[in-house]
Every structure is written in C-alpha cells, then in structure tokens.
C-alpha cells in the first residue's frame, strides 16, 4: 500500500473520531437545554394557573351561648391568572354545612360560608371545612371555626328522657333546669310536640313545671342562689301510638342568652301483645290432612307480669267447617289457639275469621282472618 493511501485512511479515521467525540460532548448540553426548556415551560404554565389565597382561614367566635347558630363567610381570593374552581367544600362533621362560589375569576374574591348549630355542644369546639380546588400548588386547604360553647341554661341530670312503655300505659320522668345567668332565672312556658296526624299538640305527652324548693335543688350546678325549675314529662296513655319515640319538649325561659331549651323525648311504645300469625291460610287440605290443624300463638309483651294476660275463649265464624279451641302454653303469658278443619266439613272454600277474647285493656278482642280450600278426602284403596 502506498504511503499516500495510508495517509488518506488515517485522515478519515481521525475525522470520524473527532465527530464522534463532538457528538458525545454535545449530548449533555442538549439534554440540559431540553430540561431547562421544559422547566421554563412549566414555570410559564404555572404563572397562568389559578392561585387560592384565603384571607382569614380561622374564625374565632370566642364564648357563645349554647344553641346559637354560627354563620361565617370565609373570603377566598384568586391571585392566579386563570379561573379558580372550588370543586368541593367538605365539612368535618354533620353539624357544619358549607356553601361556596364554584368559580372565581383571576383577581376576584369569592366566599365559602360555613353554618354551625351549637345546640349539641358544650365547651371548646373547632369545626373545619376542607376545600378542594384546581390550584396546582395547594389542591386542598382548610377553614376553621373556633368557639367556646357555654350552656347558660342546662338540665339535670341530662337533657333527655327515655321511656319503654306498653301501649296504653303511661310513665313520668322529670328534669331540673338551672341557669348560669346573673339575672334571676325563670321558666315561663313549656310546649309539647305537634302531632303530625292532627297538626295539634300531641295528646300522648303532657308536661307541668314548678319552682324547686331550696332543699330539693340539684347540687353543685348553676349559679349559686339561682332558682331551679322541675319540668315533669308524662308519656303514654290511650293516645300513644306503637313505635319509636323521637320528639322534643320545648322549654321557654327568661334567659337573655339562651331563652329556649329542648328536652329530647326518646324510647319506644310496644304493643301489649303479639299474634302469630296475624293471617291464617290452610291452603288446599282434606279434613284428614296433617295441615288441617293449625295454630295461632298469642304472647304477652308485659315483661313485669306476663301471667296477668289471659285468653278466655276463641270462636270460629264458620264452626261447621273450622273449630277453635284455646289453652295456655307452658310459657307464662302465652296461649295457643288451635284451629281444626271439621272432620265432616264439605268440600269448598272457607273465607272466615277466628275471634279471640282476652283481658287486654288495649286489645280485648282480636280477629285473625282465615282461609282454606277444603277437598274431599281420598277414599282408602282396598287391599283385596
């Protein structure tokens, strides 16, 4: 190979090596420029993003009277360059309700309003509302209401009464109201709940109130020297409906901070007895079927003296087709009424009832509808 050719090859190799080294050296610089460009683009985009600025994130009401309803509008400003969207305002508990402006334009101010009912609280409270927004830097923010709830009027031993009654029975319980006011305390009026069926004061609840003698005052409660009042609450009687109790007795006072106080009336009114089943259907039967004998059970709900419940007799409205008999079971306050398709009952439909007589003051006579389709007995097949 000539020296000239060797020289050309060496120059080509040198050029290729130089180009490769230059390319490798350029890569970090290009990567750095790309990263810087992306960062600049992100920063530029961020400059156009919405910005949530809360003018006053915490509202402190200080000491307030129990039962006072707090309403506060938190001012929120959009200090960004695009629309601020409030996606949600989530209260920290069920007692706080929040309303809010959903979209706030750049440079403008909106409101998030929180409502707190303090009727169920006493002492220091802190209620929060969490905001969810499209602010990329702070997608969630928190608003807080602080207060010290002071009961100026309270009940001893508690602000509720609970009853467990049989239908027709009545029971009474009392609470004593006391006050922390400086001025002489007085109960002025007590109102019972309204019966939704009649839109009139409920007849199944009655109240009275009276000033408590000094010797009978609840100890260590209220301002010393203040009068206390006993409120007597009687629930039940003939007008009480079976089911759960969930109402309030409203007590009005001369307290300037807390003029109204509510006592919750809870519990249950139970039926005096249970009948199982309440409707009887024999289905299709022959007088000789096992299913031609059915039973109705009566159970007293009187837990104190179930033996006082008595079933005296049971009568079928169709005695030619279905007979009825009654006897006590082995369990106190429980009776068995046996219904039997008559052995000579003719085929056909039965649509009648059994009438059961008891000494229950609410349900002295119980009627259980009964149905049956009586079929002719299948003749016995002779073995001859």
Q: What pLDDT digit, counting tens, does each position of 84-99 carry?
A: 999 999 998 777 878 9
Query: Is the pLDDT at 5 greater than 80, yes or no?
Result: no
pLDDT of residue 54: 94
Query: Is the pLDDT at 233 greater than 80, yes or no?
Result: yes
pLDDT of residue 238: 86
Q: How confident is the model at residue 34 (pLDDT cuts 50, 70, 90)?
A: low
Residue from 310, 226, 302 nearest 271 by CA: 302
How far apart are alpha carbons 148 and 63 in whole angstroms?
Answer: 5
At residue 55, φ and ψ (nearest 5 deg) are -65, -45
Residue from 359, 116, 152, 158 nearest 263 by CA: 158
At residue 306, φ and ψ (nearest 5 deg) are -60, -30
Query: Is the pLDDT at 101 greater than 70, yes or no?
Result: yes
Whose tokens are 């079971």? That residue is: 329
Average pLDDT, the chain: 89
How far apart are alpha carbons 146 and 164 in whole angstroms?
Answer: 39
Q: How confident is the model at residue 32 (pLDDT cuts 50, 70, 90)?
A: low
Query: Is the pLDDT at 300 greater than 60, yes or no?
Result: yes
Contact indicator for 249, 235 with CB cutoff of 8 Å: no
Q: What percent of the chain has pLDDT over 70?
A: 86
Query: Is the pLDDT at 62 greater than 80, yes or no?
Result: yes
Q: How confident is the model at residue 377 (pLDDT cuts 50, 70, 90)?
A: confident
Q: How confident is the model at residue 235 (pLDDT cuts 50, 70, 90)?
A: very high
Question: What is the gyration radius of the CA atoms in the chain, in angstroms?
Answer: 41
Contact indicator for 253, 186 with CB cutoff of 8 Å: yes
Residue from 218, 341, 208 nearest 280 by CA: 341
């Amino acid at each position: 190979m000539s020296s000239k050719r060797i020289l050309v090859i060496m120059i080509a190799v040198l050029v290729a090596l130089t180009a490769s080294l230059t390319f490798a050296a350029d890569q970090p610089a290009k990567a750095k420029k790309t990263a810087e460009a992306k960062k600049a683009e992100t920063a530029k985009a961020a400059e156009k993003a919405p910005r949530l600025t809360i003018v006053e994130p915490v509202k402190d009401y200080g000491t307030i009277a129990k039962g006072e309803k707090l309403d506060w509008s938190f001012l929120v400003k959009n200090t960004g360059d695009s629309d601020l969207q409030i996606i949600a305002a989530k209260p920290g508990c069920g007692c706080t309700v929040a309303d809010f402006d959903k979209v706030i334009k750049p440079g403008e101010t909106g409101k998030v309003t929180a409502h707190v009912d303090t009727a169920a609280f006493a002492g220091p409270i802190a209620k929060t509302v969490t905001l969810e927004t499209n602010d990329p830097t702070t997608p969630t923010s928190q608003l807080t209401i602080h207060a010290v709830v002071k009961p100026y009027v309270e009940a001893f031993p508690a602000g509720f009464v609970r009853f467990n009654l049989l239908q027709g029975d009545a029971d009474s319980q009392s609470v004593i109201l006391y006050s922390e006011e400086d001025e002489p305390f007085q109960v002025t009026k007590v109102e019972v709940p309204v019966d939704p069926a009649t839109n009139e004061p409920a007849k199944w609840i009655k109240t009275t109130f009276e000033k408590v003698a000094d010797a009978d005052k609840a100890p260590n409660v209220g301002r010393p020297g203040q009068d206390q009042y006993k409120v007597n609450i009687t629930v039940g009687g003939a007008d009480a409906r079976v089911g759960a109790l969930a109402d309030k007795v409203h007590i009005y006072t001369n307290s300037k901070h807390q003029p109204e106080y509510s006592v919750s009336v809870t519990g249950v009114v139970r039926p005096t007895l249970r009948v199982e089943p309440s409707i009887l259907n024999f289905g299709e039967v022959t007088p000789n079927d096992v299913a031609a004998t059915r039973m109705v059970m009566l159970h007293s709900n009187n837990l104190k003296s179930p033996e006082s419940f008595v079933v005296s007799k049971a009568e079928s409205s169709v005695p030619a087709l279905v007979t009825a008999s009654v006897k006590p079971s082995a369990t106190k306050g429980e009776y068995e009424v046996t219904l039997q398709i008559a052995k000579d009952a003719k085929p056909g439909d039965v649509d009648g009832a059994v009438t059961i007589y008891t000494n229950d003051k609410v349900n002295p006579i119980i009627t259980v509808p009964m149905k049956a389709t009586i079929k002719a007995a299948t003749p016995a097949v002779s073995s001859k």
